[in-house]
Amino acid sequence: MSGLSGVAPAPPSDDILYGFVPDPARGRFLDARMHHELAASLSHLAEASAATPDVAAPLADAAQRLAAGQLVGPEAFARYFQIAAQLLADEPSGLPEHLAALTREIATPRGGLTVVPRGGAGELDALMELRMGAEAADFALSSAAKAEALKARLAEAFALMKQALPDLHGELTAITHRVVAAEGRKDSKFQFDGASHYQFWGMLLLNPAFHPTRLALAEVLTHEISHSLLFGLTIDAPLVFNPDDALYPSPLRADDRPMDGIYHAAYVSARMAWAMENLAASPHLTPEERTDALNRAAEDRANFAAGYSVVEAHGDLSDAGAAIMSRAAAWIAAPH
């Protein structure tokens, strides 16, 4: 790694890093490490492109800004993936424009949480097309009015989480800085209700057609931040070594899925159960909400059990994958 990218943040102990219970400090560490990894990667690309100064200079400048502590949004992360993919494939088409955009995006502090509609999400719209390919069509345009309505409901959910689940709220807000409201494809029998993507660190996609209550939003936010948490813990090695073309029954989908997806599904289900049970135990819910939360938790626990049984039977887990899942299973098994 080049000196341009600064010193890697010191990791916490395994019990904190892989711990099941939400931890704001861990969220901040993972965010810092992602930025460090981005800086190191840009620095390596700059070194490898030294013979082409028009390419190397903006990459080196971006790495230096990050090493100096600049925090950036999902636009810069996705742009890096686009540039790296093109350089690896020796595909120069549009590269100067992407480098210019990277310079702008790296120079732009990410600010606080913003809620924007798909179709009005700025650079993220085109980046989703570039990085998600055909899958981007599953996240259809939404309107500013729906995004504003979602923003208002999100404010209620964030307020509830800050009050009742402060550590989860802290972990969530350490990582998430963009929520993009997107709708399902009109011609699809499947409708997404939430999504996240490794290459868009800090971004969540939510479908405003769902999540009518603050409790439902708190649950889907827990789901998505748990995916992001796993992304942040998946830097040097995957969670599972099972080949992606080996498919297994998933507790959460009708179609068979790769083990990586089943691992994610089981883990996020356990975290959703944690959130719903802790909300139910707090004094901040109405009686109706408490009943709803416990019903959701029971479903989440059942989903974890179904997914975990597949992981246990067929999963070829990495060290990190085993460390994370064993702690989730221990929480599920413990009396509460």
Partner 1 sequence: MTKIDPSKLLGFKLDSAEAEGLKMGKKAGIKLGGKVGAKAGVKSVAAPRS
Give me the least distance between CB of 207 and partner 1, in Å please.
Answer: 7
Closest contact distance (angstroms) between CB of 195 and partner 1 is 5
Q: Which of helix, strand or coil describes residue 127?
A: helix
Let me know: does 264 contact 321? Beta carbons within 8 Å. Answer: no
Site string (270-309) toward partner 1, x via CB under 8 A: ----------------------------------------
Q: How far apart are CA 151 and CA 165, in angstroms?
A: 19
Separation in Å, CA 149 to CA 79, 130, 144, 212: 29, 28, 9, 10
Cα atoms in the 13 Å half-sphere on the side-chain side of 14: 9
Smallest separation (angstroms) from partner 1 to the CB of 220: 5
| Under rule CB under 8 A, residue 87 binds partner 1 | yes
Instruction: Provide the minimum distance between the beta carbon of 181 and partner 1 in the complex, in angstroms, as a whole number.
Output: 13
Q: Which is nearer to partner 1, 15 or 29 (CB)?
A: 29
Angle, CA 238 vertex, CA 72 and CA 240 arms, to 5°: 145
Smallest separation (angstroms) from partner 1 to the CB of 333: 22
From 142-150, 172-180, 216-224, 282-290, span contacting partner 1 (CB under 8 A)? 216-224
Is residue 83 within 8 A of residue 38, CB to CB? The reply is no
HSE-up of 184 (CA within 13 Å, CB side)?
A: 11
- Pick one of 115, 161, 262, 273: the residue that binds partner 1 (CB under 8 A): 262
Could you tell me which of 113, 114, 112, 118 has the C-alpha nearest to residue 207?
A: 118
In sequence order, the 6+-apart residues with CB closer than 8 A to the CB of 319 are 237
Site for partner 1 in 41-80 (CB under 8 A): 41, 44-45, 47-52, 80
What is the sign of the dihedral through the CA atoms of 106, 27, 10 and 78?
negative
Q: Taking CB under 8 A as the rule, does residue 194 contact partner 1?
A: yes
Q: Closer CB to partner 1, residue 15 or residue 253?
A: 253
- State which of residues 132, 155, 247, 323 lies at the interface with partner 1 (CB under 8 A): 132
The three-point CA angle 285-179-299 to 5° equals 45
Nearer to partner 1, 97 or 236 (CB): 236
User: Which residues contact partner 1 (rule: CB under 8 A)?
Assistant: 1, 34, 37-38, 40-41, 44-45, 47-52, 80-81, 84, 87-88, 132, 135, 184, 189-199, 207, 209-211, 216, 219-220, 223-224, 227, 234-238, 241, 243-245, 250, 252-255, 257-258, 260-262, 264-265, 268
